[in-house]
Structures are given as structure tokens and as C-alpha cells.
Amino acid sequence: MVKINDNVSAEIIDGVLTADLSTWDEFANFVTGRLLDYDNYNWRGQRSADWLLESTLDRMLKETKKTANSVPKHLENFKYATRGRRGSNPAKMESDDDWWALGQHNGLATPLLDWTTSPFVAAYFAFWEDINEQDKRAIYGLTQKSIVLKNGELVSNNPRTSEDDLVVKYIKPLSDENARLVNQSGLFTKSPTGIDMEKWVSENFSGYRKIILLKLTLPNTERATTLKALNRMNINHLTLFPDLSGASEFCNMGLKIEKYKY
């Protein structure tokens, strides 16, 4: 068992640890206390603790009952559809992953998941939308070094299998086209099509008793406290979305949450 605090302990099962926290303070104290010197985690927030760690493309393929064979055509359509729409001197796309990254923050269904190096930015994305029916929000931490080492092992042991069908790839675009990615300390992961991240970790770290994937849940009732605390850290829509939509959402938040101030 892993002790999170005096009230919460949790068991690691196949590399995955899930801990149900009760308050914002429990979360903040854990990531600034026990995890303070662990700089190997990347973080992701999700509005519902019940959602899988899966990409928008995987969800869309399920909904439309299409297979992975549809993915290359989907990306090709995006490449053609963006012609003349990337400005006068667009950055050169070096790979398909660069195209996926471009589409990720422009509404395209992609095989990518957004992550950040900051647990507090991840907490913001878990909580900023007010969806009352969700009982719990979730903040995930993923240990990058362990994933990269496992990738090498999988490739070595399966030389005839495409890497795209085996590994979780980390993607850090160099393009300047996405200011939001910079402000959010963001990066992406790309998993094999049809396999959510928790399933990939559990299958590839079966029996493992060290944390590879950390899932921390918080009740939705902590939303106002969480967002006000993050605003004090200058983590809000104004800083994470450096455009007019970010400014608008920040002002809207001030109307909805008492004492949420500029």
C-alpha cells in the first residue's frame, strides 16, 4: 500500500495507482510534498473520473464503428483541407505527428492525448468546465522514463511489428503555430489505435509494484475552491489561452465563481 496522507492509502495494481482524495488541500499537499522531487511525471486532467484515457480519434472510431484503416485517409483529408489556411509563411510539417499536433488544438479528432508538465495546470483542465452531473474529476500522472524504457523493450522483442502498434510515443512539436501549447507546458502522447492509456500500462506492466500511472480523483464539490486556488497561482484561462477566447472565458468565470478575481 502507498500512503497518500494520514487518511488515504492505495494499492498499486499492474503499475496503476488510484487514490480518491477529498479536498483540494490533499491534492496540493501531495504533489508539493511527497512528489515534489519527482520531475519525471507528466500530468493530465479529465472532467470525469469515469472517462477512459483515450484519444478523441479512438472515441470517434468507436462511435462510427470504423476501424484503424480509416485513420490514414482522415489525416490526408486534414492535410488537404488546411491548404491556404495556415498563414502566409507556415511552418514546415516534418512528419505525420506534426500534422496530428497541429490538428489537436484546432478541433481535429486525433490519436493524441494532451499532457502538461504541471500537475496544477492539469488540475485546472480537470475542473474548469462546470458539469454538475460528474461526481468526481481526475488528475493523472504518467512516468515518462518508465514508458520510454518499456517502449525500447517492446520494439526489441517485437522486431516485425510496427512501432505504432506497440509503443506510447511522446510528441513535443517545435512549430510556433500553437501558443497555447507553450503556455500550458504541453506535450502529447500517441498510443496504439484502440488502446486506452490505462489498459496499455496494465498490460505492459502486469504485476508491477511501482507507480507508472497515477490517478488522483477529487469530488466535483471542490471545483470553486480548486479554481480560486489555481487563479492565485496565475493558472487560469487568461494565461493558458493567450487569445480573445481565453480572456472571455476568464471574465465569465469571474461571474460564476464568487471572489474569482483578476
How distant, in Å, are the alpha carbons of 89, 164, 198 from that of 158? 41, 12, 21
C-alpha grid cell, residue 181: 501549447
Per-residue model confidence (pLDDT) at position 90? 82
Per-residue model confidence (pLDDT) at position 175? 57
- The Cβ-side half-sphere exposure at 16, using a 13 Å CA radius, reads 14
User: Distance between CA 19 and CA 24 in Å, rounded?
Assistant: 13
Q: Which amino acid is at 214?
A: L
User: CB–CB of 27/120 below 8 Å?
Assistant: no
Q: What is the 3-state secondary structure (H, E, C) of the chain?
A: CEECCCCCEECEECCEEEEECCCHHHHHHHHHCCCCCCCCEEEEEECCCCCCCCCHHHHHHHHHCCCHHHHHHHHHHHHHHCCCCCCCCCCCCCCHHHHHHHHHCCCCCCCEEEEECCHHHHHHHHHCCCCCCCCEEEEEEEEHHHHHHHHHHHHHHCCCCCHHHCCCEEECCCCCCCHHHHHCCEEEEECCCCCCHHHHHHHHCCCCCCCCEEEEEEEHHHHHHHHHHHHHCCCCHHHHCCCHHHHHHHHHHHHHCCCCCC
CA nearest 115: which of 33, 22, 214?
214
User: Distance between CA 97 and CA 207 in Å, rounded?
Assistant: 32
User: Distance between CA 255 and CA 140 in Å, rounded?
Assistant: 29
pTM of the predicted protein model = 0.93
The residue extents of the domains of the chain are 2-76+91-223
Phi, psi of 144 (to 5 degrees): -65, -40
Per-residue model confidence (pLDDT) at position 178? 62
Cβ neighbors of 70 (< 8 A, separation 6 or more) are 61
Regions of the chain with pLDDT less than 70: 133, 174-183
Judge residue 117's burial from the number of C-beta atoms within 10 Å of its C-beta, 0-12 exposed, 13-18 middle, 19 or more buried: middle
Cβ neighbors of 186 (< 8 A, separation 6 or more) are 114, 115, 116, 180
Which residue in the block uniquely carries the three cell numbers 476501424?
67
Strand-strand pairing, 186-190 and 169-171: antiparallel
Per-residue model confidence (pLDDT) at position 174? 66
